[in-house]
Amino acid sequence: MNETLTIALESMVIGALIGFGASAGVARMFHAPKVQGMGAFRTLGELNACENDPVAHFSFGLGFFFNAWASAVGTGALTSDVDHRIVPHWAAALSMTKNRNLDETLHNPRRMAAYGAGVGLVLVTVLNTTAASIPHSLQNVAADVLGPASEWLINPVMPIVFWMAAVDAGRRSGGWGTVLGGLAHVVMGNAVPGIVLGIVVGKGIDDLGWTRVTKALAGAVVLLFVGSAFLRGVDIQLLQQMKADVPHWLSRLHDATGTTPTK
Amino acid sequence: MTTNDATTTAGAAAPAGRTRGKVPGEGSFWLSEWAFPLFVAALAAGIFAGTHLYYVYRTGTFSDVAVTAMLKGGMDSGSYGAAAAFGAGFLFARIIEGPMVGILDIGGSLQTGVGIGIPAMLLAAGITAPLEHFWLALPTGALLGALIGALILAIRRATVNSAGGTSTFGADVMMGAGNSAGRYLGPLVIIAAATASLPVGLGSTLGAALFYWWKKPLTGGAILGAMLFGLFFPIAGT
């Protein structure tokens, strides 16, 4: 089969699936914490910021559509904005053209899922098939402008934003956030997951104290860090950089599990 | 799913209070607890299949450029450690965080975890079939999504929904940080544009200023301005 046709057909299925799932999850966010939703804090905030105006929702999505399009050209990555911003905002815009009642539109998982599936189907197909037809000069803009900008956002801007939020939220979340954030950057290469977990643990202890729940949470966090450290071979790297001898059994264990550090 | 007793009984009274039939009430399928793994499965199936598309045709991952670059690094060099650890780290963190705050972060859990981390682990282990074939990618992604959804509900049951669970675990703090993080993208685009070339930097600044004047998100203007000027004054490219 023709390659473009294959990409188009697969994209339609993929787009409908992600549109359906993401939009239903986003609508459920408005019923959280009673109902488990799916999306992101920034998605929730941005949807609220558009104040049930379909034009605002549409243009917000449009800005990120061009971002995703440019990114697809340069690198083949559609960007996380597809699920976080474009699909939810365009589904909301379509859903609100005739009806401004939030309960019946944006907060209604059935209606959002239906519109989202349609938006996703068209959007993902367009992004994946027309990317190659964009001029080279635009590909270079995508690679040289959007590439660095999104890298800086992930590191170091987002870690700092979350870090300051953790510090401002109180001594406990600030302390846990700082320790877990620093460790997360050492172990995982990005501090954000650690800071977020720090806020969860710190605020959990603030609200509940040291109960069975918060103890289990802290235990899971410790396991997560130990597991990630081993998988990335951080223990070996640490010993090497401290100019200490790596025990033979440890390097054999890493060789056997294929977790020797790469850099 | 054996875990939906509480919500269905709790929600059974809700539809009676609603007069309009077209809005699903709490306790209906669309807002029920057990529908959650289904929605995660649909989204994860699409995201995993998107990574299949990228593996075969070099387009289609649902992650950001920087994260996709890690997977590409693995595909080029054969060493998937960075992508696997980064993706798995995010996935674990989000699975722990998701039920606490009531919102599963799609970006960290599914786009980075299922879209990059798990494929990288499979490829590192020499398993390429689910990434080479579309018909295998879909059920693989759906299964992963359903498992993640079920796990979230299980943790939720043990924590937030347990007796005396009155904490939101800092949801408001992270909501604020998430909102302000998004606002940094526009200025970052302008800085990157001005670094790439002078005309593109001017275009990006102009576009952002116009969008701000029109009360639109300035990120969109910064991107459009950079692209428009890049079309007329091409930058050398990397």
pLDDT tens per residue, range A147-186? 788 778 878 888 999 999 999 999 999 999 999 999 999 9
Over residues B9-41, the pLDDT tens digits come to 333 333 333 444 467 776 789 999 889 999 999
Q: Give CA separation, B169 vs A44, A173, B53, B95, in Å.
A: 17, 10, 37, 14
Tell me how far apart the alpha carbons of residues B61 and B71 are, in angstroms, rounded to a whole number.
10
Beta bridge partners of residue A39, listed in sequence order: B105
**Structure tokens of B155?**
């943790």
The rounded mean pLDDT for chain B is 82
Say what the pLDDT of residue B19 is: 40
Q: Find the mean pLDDT for residues B134-159.
A: 93
Under an 8 A CB cutoff, do A40 and B62 touch? no
Least confident of A174-188, B68-82, B198-212: B68-82
Say what the pLDDT of residue B11 is: 37
CA–CA min distance A247, chain B (Å): 22
Q: A176-183: long-range contacts at Cβ-Cβ below 8 A with a sequence spacing of 24 or more?
A: A176/A201, A176/A202, A177/A202, A180/A221, A180/A225, A183/A225
The residue of chain A nearest to residue B200, with distances taken between CA atoms, is: A141
The answer, yes or no, to whether residue B6 has pLDDT greater than 60, is: no
The answer, yes or no, to whether residue B143 has pLDDT greater than 90, is: yes
**Structure tokens of B85?**
């650890």
In total, the C-beta contacts within 8 angstroms joining chain A to chain B are 420
Between strands A37-39 and B103-105, the pairing is parallel
The residue of chain B nearest to residue A188, with distances taken between CA atoms, is: B86
B220 closest CB neighbour out of A45, A66, A202: A66
Question: Are A156 and B157 contacting, i.e. CB atoms less than 8 angstroms apart?
Answer: no
Say what the pLDDT of residue A71 is: 79
Low-confidence stretches of chain A (pLDDT beneath 70): 1, 74, 132-134, 258, 262-263
Specify the residue for token string 């979340």: A173
Of residues B84 and A168, more confidence is placed in A168
Beta bridge partners of residue A38, listed in sequence order: B104
Cα–chain center distance at B200? 30
Q: What dihedral do alpha carbons A110, A9, B37, A177 form, nearest 10°?
A: -100
Tell me how far apart the alpha carbons of residues A63 and B198 are, in angstroms, rounded to a whole number.
22
Say what the pLDDT of residue A11 is: 96
Q: What dihedral do alpha carbons B224, B226, B230, B231 form, nearest 10°?
A: 10
Residues of chain A positioned with their CB less than 8 A from the CB of B50: 14, 18, 78, 124
Amino acid identity, position A116: G
**Structure tokens of A111?**
């209606």
% of chain B exceeding 90 in pLDDT: 42
CA–CA min distance B4, chain A (Å): 12
Under an 8 A CB cutoff, do A78 and B100 touch? no
Could you tell me which residues come within 8 angstroms of residue A79 by beta carbon, excluding any fewer than 6 positions away? A64, A67, A68, A71, A72, A150, B62, B63, B64, B65
The answer, yes or no, to whether residue B78 has pLDDT greater than 70, is: yes
Cβ atoms within 10 Å, residue A248: 8
Under an 8 A CB cutoff, do B179 and A28 touch? no
Say what the pLDDT of residue B164 is: 60
CA–CA min distance A229, chain B (Å): 9
Helices A109-130/A3-29 angle, 10° precision: 150
**Structure tokens of B220?**
């969109």
Tell me how far apart the alpha carbons of residues B111 and A176 are, in angstroms, rounded to a whole number.
26
Tell me how far apart the alpha carbons of residues A244 and A26 are, in angstroms, rounded to a whole number.
50
Alpha helices (H) along B32-183 = 35-57, 65-77, 81-101, 106, 118-124, 129-132, 134-158, 171-183
Tell me how far apart the alpha carbons of residues B21 and A30 are, in angstroms, rounded to a whole number.
19
Cβ atoms within 10 Å, residue A90: 27
Least Cα distance to A259 among B77, B79, B122 occurs for: B79
DSSP-derived letter for residue A77 is: B
Least Cα distance to B95 among A46, A175, A203, A196 occurs for: A196
CA–CA min distance A110, chain B (Å): 6
Tell me how far apart the alpha carbons of residues A117 and B39 are, in angstroms, rounded to a whole number.
12
- Binned at pLDDT 50, 70 and 90, residue B95 comes out as confident
Amino acid identity, position B159: T
B23 closest CB neighbour out of A66, A108, A113: A108
Say what the pLDDT of residue B20 is: 47
Say what the pLDDT of residue B206 is: 96
Cβ atoms within 10 Å, residue A30: 19
Least Cα distance to A86 among A15, A137, A134 occurs for: A15
Residues of chain A positioned with their CB less than 8 A from the CB of B221: 63
Interface pTM, i.e. ipTM: 0.76
Under an 8 A CB cutoff, do B33 and A78 touch? no
Say what the pLDDT of residue B144 is: 96
Say what the pLDDT of residue B165 is: 58
Could you tell me which residues come within 8 angstroms of residue A61 by beta carbon, excluding any fewer than 6 positions away? A85, A86, A87, A89, A90, A93
The residue of chain B nearest to residue A107, with distances taken between CA atoms, is: B23
Tell me how far apart the alpha carbons of residues B212 and B50 are, in angstroms, rounded to a whole number.
34
**Structure tokens of B10?**
């709790």
Question: Are B101 and A200 contacting, i.e. CB atoms less than 8 angstroms apart?
Answer: yes
Least confident of A259-263, B23-27, B138-142, B227-231: A259-263
Under an 8 A CB cutoff, do B191 and A149 touch? yes
The residue of chain B nearest to residue A67, with distances taken between CA atoms, is: B223
Beta bridge partners of residue A37, listed in sequence order: B103
Residues of chain A positioned with their CB less than 8 A from the CB of B180: 161, 165
Over residues B149-187, the pLDDT tens digits come to 999 999 888 777 765 656 777 777 876 787 677 778 789
CA–CA min distance B144, chain A (Å): 14
Under an 8 A CB cutoff, do B65 and A146 touch? yes
Helix, strand, or coil (residue A38): strand
The residue of chain B nearest to residue A49, with distances taken between CA atoms, is: B179
Could you tell me which residues come within 8 angstroms of residue A91 by beta carbon, excluding any fewer than 6 positions away? A19, A23, A26, A112, A115, A116, A119
The residue of chain B nearest to residue A260, with distances taken between CA atoms, is: B81
Q: Find the mean pLDDT for residues B115-129.
A: 92
| B80 φ, ψ (degrees, to nearest 5) | -95, 10
Tell me how far apart the alpha carbons of residues B231 and B233 are, in angstroms, rounded to a whole number.
6
CA–CA min distance A179, chain B (Å): 15
Least Cα distance to A22 among A4, A5, A52, A44 occurs for: A44
